[in-house]
Amino acid sequence: VWFRDEEERLRIVDLMKRYGDEEVEDKVREDEALGFIGMENMLQSLALFRTQQESLKKMKKMEWQVEKLCVEVLPYDEYHSIQRAHAHRPRPPVRGGHVKVEVVEAANLPKMDLLRSVDPYCLVFLADQVGESTTGALSFKTSVKQGSKNPQWGEKCELPLQERSSAVTATVFDRDAVTADDLVGCAHVSIADLAPGEAVDGWYKIVNPDMHARKLAKAMIRLRITVHMTEDGVPVAAPASLPGPAAAAEAFSTVGVEDD
């Protein structure tokens, strides 16, 4: 590296000594946090898989017992007629598609530490009915907004919609440079309440069962969500006779924002 003079070289060396490791340390902390989240998701998935396997074994055993009973009780022709009807029954459509999410802003986030302001960022993913992520590594993370309890993001992502995806989950964290990042809270939006192809712009309450409700009383996050759903690869349109879901979010269209 070429420097104009010795004084400039010393300034650069001093800056590197003071700040050069911060980016590396931030990356290490971020990798550790993502690793921890990944391990927790893996353990939850393993427990859920074992439960599903046990349930599947019991269901197969019951099916075998019912079929055996049918063979013993029903006439031969009636039993085979039921089998043929079962084999030709229409299968349910395979659901897919994607969900576009814009994390617009948040309001009235609480301070998580006594001596410093909140440095929020948001993690967005799709979850199933038990709260497990269905998007995995494709989860979206916003930038960190330093010292703002009313952060403005305006950041967009697109997440794959799977058969078991049931909710859009936005989790707000407070970035901590010393210890682990603090969980502020989560907002959940049911996909069943969103009409396919129709953008919904609304404010959603941030909740955290481990935090006093008064601390999060005014905490909200604004999301703009559009679900693009397919059935067997064919796009699904919103029913013309149903009112748009924007009316449901209208109650939160105006949110009182406290000063930072």
Closest CA relative to residue 231, chosen from 34, 60, 92: 92
**216 in Cβ contact with 110 (< 8 Å):** yes
Is position 257 within any domain? no
Q: Residue range 149-174: average pLDDT?
A: 93
Last residue of a domain, one of 54, 72, 89: 89
**144 in Cβ contact with 81 (< 8 Å):** no
143, 22: one domain: no
- For residue 189, the model assigns a pLDDT of 94
Residue 46 has pLDDT above 50, yes or no: yes
26 pLDDT band, cuts 50/70/90, is: low
Q: Domain holding 193: CATH number?
A: 2.60.40.150
**175 in Cβ contact with 33 (< 8 Å):** no
249 pLDDT band, cuts 50/70/90, is: very low
239 pLDDT band, cuts 50/70/90, is: low
Residue-wise pLDDT for 181-199, tens only, equals 899 999 999 999 999 999 9
Rounded CA separation 107/43 (Å): 33
Is position 177 within any domain? yes
33, 129: one domain: no
- For residue 104, the model assigns a pLDDT of 98
The residue segments making up the domain with residue 151 are 95-252
